[in-house]
Amino acid sequence: MTSQSAPRTYALGLCYASMVSLAIAVNLIPISLTTLSTALGGPEGLTKEQLGRISATIFVGLVTGIILAGPLADRLGAKAFAVAGNLSIAAGLAVLGLAPNYATVLAAVFVMGLGAGILDLVLSPIICALQSDRRTSAMNWLHSFYAIGAVASILAGSLALRLGFGWRAISLSIIAAPVAVGLGFLGVTVPPLIAAGERTPVLRLSRQPYFIMVLAAIFLAGASELGMAQWLSAYAEMGLGYSTWTGGMGLLAFSAAMAAGRVGAGMLGRRVAVIPMMIGCGVLAAGLYAAGSFAPWPPVALAACVGVGLAVSCLWPSTLAVAGDRFPQGGASMFGLLAAFGNFGGIFMPWVIGVTADVAAIRWGLAAGTVAPVALAILLACIRRQPATARALQG
């Protein structure tokens, strides 16, 4: 390793570790909802609406962080925001661990979500700046660490709860991790988020048909991924008749499959054209959604649902890479808009699945999720026909 490559490797490692911090912020609460309900809701526990409000508040904070930090990161540099994002997650964990009541828990998870949103915004353009010659591979490697962090959070949290450790102890015990990562950024040089020249304003990007299609693509990528992620455990219990533990392990396997898929896409690099790869993954995801919904044998249905994690793994990060290749001067503002649209897709599709399940049955609700990867594959075929840089098409 040369003296010039060592600082870049260190910066890459901090970005990967920050993605794990982001995963902790998003995935710690769902596994703790039952214990939170018992601790804060008295004998009857918190209502389902109150529990749902906790999870929703995380994503409100996440989108707020993206919106607030986007216009500033290009002007002030990403380093301060990488530090602030990690420290916000640490502060939220501290407040959560000491929270005396429900209102304080909501404040804590909002702060955690805020930090997660800031990191979601700045990590992608930092990686693009560090590895501008191999964005598709770099983005999949980066986002694989979110899936790895999700697996670690779900597994460690579930085991800790089974061993009798409460949500307070879990929250307080992991504060040191985001603090160490945040402070680590103080000692590195983060390159400018855009190359020399003027940043392309978001309004100008929004008038580009190619960019509008990329926004729609990441909306559908988020819908394809989070539609299954948010409903897999409940579907395993209510639709397939499995236990709560098996449903949770199904979600764990889904996250592990997603991590494996992103590592694999990162290793493939330029050997596979990115948009054809994404089209194939979209078609595969649609088939697995359908199999998970209608397979007559529950083990096959559950395996298909887990397989969706592998199929959708490359869709979100590769869409970001295509945007970065096509619009290298877009900066953090562009990535912030993309992240917001992806998260909106992740909010929309779980709601559609729930509405459909109420009207028909949970199998038909999950089947409604098939629409997103099908629409994404069709849209990507249209994007492929658009004039674009060779890099955007070849990965």
For residue 345, give both structure tokens.
Answer: 């897709």
| Cα separation, 54 vs 41, whole angstroms | 13
Is the pTM value of this prediction over 0.85?
no
pLDDT tens-place values along the chain, 395 residues long: 444 566 778 888 999 999 999 999 988 877 777 678 778 877 777 776 677 678 778 888 888 898 888 778 777 778 889 999 999 999 999 999 999 998 999 999 999 999 999 998 889 888 877 887 777 788 888 888 988 888 888 888 878 877 888 888 889 999 999 999 999 999 888 777 665 556 677 778 888 889 999 999 999 999 999 889 878 887 888 889 888 778 878 888 998 999 899 888 888 766 778 899 999 999 999 999 999 999 999 999 999 999 999 999 989 988 988 888 888 777 777 888 888 898 888 878 888 888 888 888 889 989 999 999 999 999 999 988 876 443 433 33
Residue ranges of domains in the chain, CATH in brackets: 1-193 (1.20.1250.20), 198-395 (1.20.1250.20)
CB 132 within 8 A of CB 7: no
How large is the angle between the packed helices 33-40 and 48-76, nearest 10 degrees?
A: 120
Distances (CA, A) of 312 to 67, 283, 302, 381: 25, 10, 16, 16
Residue among 342, 304, 313, 328 at smallest CA distance from 392: 328
| Amino acid of residue 37 | S
Alpha helices in 239-296 (DSSP H): 244-268, 274-294
Q: Read off the tokens for 230.
A: 């948010």
- Torsion sign over Cα 342, 204, 138, 336: negative
Name the residue type at position 117: G
Q: At 88, give phi and psi (nearest 5°).
A: -65, -40
Nearest by Cα to 270 from 75, 112, 136: 136
Q: How many CA atoms lie within 13 A of 150 on its CB side?
A: 23
